[in-house]
Chain A
Amino acid sequence: MQRLEVAFLEKAKELLSSGQVNRVLAYKKGEFCYDVSPAVFYSVEELENAVYNGFCGANLSKYLIQESKKEGKVAVFLKPCDTYSFNQLIKEHRVNRENVYVVGIECQGKFSIEKFYKTGVGFVASVQEDLDSVLVNGETKIDRNAVKLERCLVCKKQHVVYDELLVINEKKDGDLDRFEMVKKLEAMTADERFAFWKEQLSKCIRCNACRNVCPACTCTKCVFDNDDSQISSKANADSFEEKLFHIIRAFHVAGRCTDCGECSRVCPQNIPLHLLNRKYISDINEFYGEFEAGKDIAQKGPLTNYTTGDIEPNDFKGGNK
């Protein structure tokens, strides 16, 4: 795995020193091995702090909305799932494709530090990565799948847009059914579902991290910040507003959400927000045929399309009673 990081650094240096791009959007080291941040590097010297490892979970495509509008070309290292988001942004004219040099980079699944803590390893000072396992603090070996983010267990695997690929090993695993939990919820009774979501959504503190990190939420001004929209709200002053915010947010990204899972990754209260988006994805697949947002920009989005024989709104099967 370390080989990949070396190749990443070499590629970044080569792109900068050759003048092919004038900056690189990637990840930089933090204080620990796990608190990696997205960063822009302007010189080969700055790349000393660059890093590419299992903690580089952040989806860089959203930063390209701003970065691609600036002077000069920016190189970016995108994971397979990030490329879907990027492609969707291209479709919606939110990025300037000519200004971006995309290196599709290998990803063997990214980590959740909280899952490390759950294994009982305590403080995580160092992580040596292997294709199927990780070695924590030089002593404890853990199955890689045990510490992966949920979204990495249901990986997209293929890059859909890139100028160049940086892949050494094929992606392993990640073939679980991403709709498993959606199905479980549908199988619950309506009362159980209501209780589940009430408990989950009541945790929401409306920090807007899910919205602000979301590569589909790219409005210059969100309806929830806009008093003219008649639904603006800053806090969940009533249990209704928790639902309103999340239903509308999911609806606004329905058919555009690439299921990158960033919303759930960043939620400070660990609300499984991706289950809302996946419900829409699974409904769209079921009602209107398989659709993967960001996969093919020529394809019409399911909510801007129709067929004369579409299912009637009163007729969907829905969850249990």
Chain B
Amino acid sequence: MQELNKEHKPLIVAFCCNWCSYAGADLAGSSRLSYPANVKIIRVPCSCRVNPTFILKAFQKGADGVILCGCHPGDCHYTSGNYYARRRMTLLFSMLDYLGIERERTRVEWVSAAEGAKFSKVMNEFAKTICELGENKRLEDLRCKD
């Protein structure tokens, strides 16, 4: 019974671009807008630095959800990085969906440096979605949990 009561605490990896979304997360912080502690942020220079393998690796290592945040289209610090990221992630997510993996586990959100509230909202919503989905079973590597 104890096992059942122990709620599964999902792990969420958030890749945030340095210029917009990471700054948005900072703003969420300085505005004291909370989001679950199981969201962990990795800073990348631009959303276009995020390789699909990073996302798959996170799932392999036990993440239950992965979210990528970048500057709004048109606002990329490097002018076009998030446009490439957008295409890459669309295709990757569509492929995961095609393989029958829950599409809600992956997400892309554009969060500007001014959108601290949005950052917090997005993370809360995403964490809720992942909680509802439960443990990632379809992209897990059992060895990692051993």
Contact = CB atoms under 8 A, between A and B. Distances in A.
B94 A247 contact: no
Contacts of A319: 97-98, 100
Nearest to B103: A318
Contacts, number: 124
A121 interface: no
A180 interface: no
Interface string B78-112: 00100110111111111111111111001111000
B138 interface: yes
B53 A248 contact: yes
Interface in A270-305: 276, 279-280, 283-284, 287-288, 302-305
Given A238-B143, A314-B108, A280 B95 contact: yes
A42 interface: no
Contact of B90 (A186, A238, A276, A287): A287
Contacts of B139: 240, 243
A313 interface: yes
Interface in A244-261: 244, 247-248, 250-251, 254
B84 to A, nearest CB: 6
B36 interface: no
A191 interface: yes
Nearest to B90: A313
Interface residues of B, number: 40
Looking at chain B's contact residues, is the secondary structure mostly helix, strand, loop, or mixed?
helix
A250 B53 CA distance: 12
A237 interface: yes
B142 A238 contact: yes
A312 B108 contact: yes
B135 interface: no
Interface string B60-73: 10000000100001
A185 interface: yes
B99 A313 contact: no
A310 interface: yes
A243 B53 contact: no
Given A244-B56, A313-B90, A194 B97 contact: no
Given A230-B53, A313-B106, A314-B93, 7 more contacts: A182-B98, A190-B97, A223-B53, A230-B57, A238-B142, A247-B95, A251-B92
Interface of B: 52-53, 56-57, 59-60, 68, 73-74, 80, 83-84, 86-103, 106-109, 138-143
30 contacts: A190-B101, A191-B100, A192-B100, A193-B100, A194-B101, A196-B100, A197-B99, A229-B53, A231-B57, A238-B141, A240-B59, A243-B139, A247-B92, A247-B95, A280-B91, A284-B91, A287-B87, A303-B88, A305-B87, A306-B86, A310-B73, A310-B83, A310-B87, A312-B90, A313-B106, A313-B107, A314-B93, A314-B109, A316-B90, A316-B94
